[in-house]
Chain A
Amino acid sequence: MSRPPGRKQENHKISRELFVLTYGALVAQLCKDYEKDEDVNTCLDRMGYGIGVRLIDDFLARSAVKKCRSYSETADMIAQVAFKMYLGVTPSVTCSSAAGNEFSLILDKNPLVDFVEELPPERASLCYCNLLCGVIRGALEMVHLAAEVTFLQDRLKGDAVTEIGITFLRKAEDRKHKR
């Protein structure tokens, strides 16, 4: 969908239903392509990573936010600004380690699973929204923050809440030099 040059930046709203259907079609196709849940999860994470490394510059260019000074600020930024901007939801953030490098994002609402009730029994280990983990991981890597991002709890698997865990792996101050 190419935009003719010179047209003012309109706030193009695309149907949420189309987006959710597209994501569902993606997961369904991956389930056809791969027998094992772990393979689908890995593939979703890798795709998400490819999106994240590009999405970060869109986020920074549009939000014009200042550099985050701590992991806590970064986690807040992800939940309150980025999630809001791209998915229209604001997960709540808690710090889950004394060291201050592990955070949890609790998703009350998750538009990706609006039309998904629960996983089929043969796909019990599927992380349906694993794309999101890859996106966060890829985006953080491009601002020189290595992190592990996984689903700690998933309503689709029968847990009480959907919880994304972000673990920052290296002190931000240990960066030797800027790119």
Chain B
Amino acid sequence: RHRLSSNEKLLLASMFHSLFAIGSQLSPEVGSSGIEMLETDTFKLHCFQTLTGIKFVVLADPRQAGIDSLLRKIYEIYSDFALKNPFYSLEMPIRCELFDQNLKLALEAAEKAGPFGPGS
């Protein structure tokens, strides 16, 4: 499986950031949110934007359930283990051990809750 480098991730994320903004502008309705879900045949991209403007993006199997609660759980993990770490600077890459550990646990729990087992 091809793993994206950090730079590639940053590039794609910033492109998605622009698409997200375009999404809400394209809407025929006023006050639309940005892109919440992007679906392809092999994956679904879920995006949750907080009121502070942070976007959490999860790529998952199209059949995977429980992503909404996963996104909110990740928001809690971010607010705990990144934001409450005094040595973490806002808007920088998150290199916090506790954040990674708790994120991993949350992802594993979400996978188990899905319609099929983990390790897919």
Decide whether A and B assemble into one complex.
Answer: yes
Please report A residues at the B interface, Cβ cutoff 8 Å: 2-3, 5-6, 53-54, 56-58, 60-62, 64, 67, 142-144, 177-179
* CB contact between A57 and one of B49, B52, B101, B105 (< 8 Å): that residue: B52
Interface of B: prevailing SS:
helix
* CB contact between A54 and one of B49, B50, B83, B102 (< 8 Å): that residue: B83
Task: Tell me the minimal C-beta distance from A177 to chain B in angstroms.
Answer: 6
Please report B residues at the A interface, Cβ cutoff 8 Å: 21, 24, 34, 49-54, 72, 75-76, 78-80, 83-84, 90, 98, 101-102, 104-105
Contact B79 A58 (CB under 8 A): yes
- Give 12 A-B pairs besides A61-B76, A142-B53, A143-B52 with Cβ atoms closer than 8 angstroms: A3-B98, A5-B101, A5-B102, A53-B90, A58-B79, A58-B84, A60-B50, A60-B75, A61-B78, A178-B21, A179-B53, A179-B54
Complex CA gap A42/B21 in Å reads 37
16 contacts between A and B (CB under 8 A): A2-B98, A6-B105, A54-B84, A57-B50, A58-B84, A60-B51, A60-B75, A61-B50, A61-B76, A61-B78, A62-B76, A62-B79, A64-B72, A177-B21, A178-B24, A178-B53
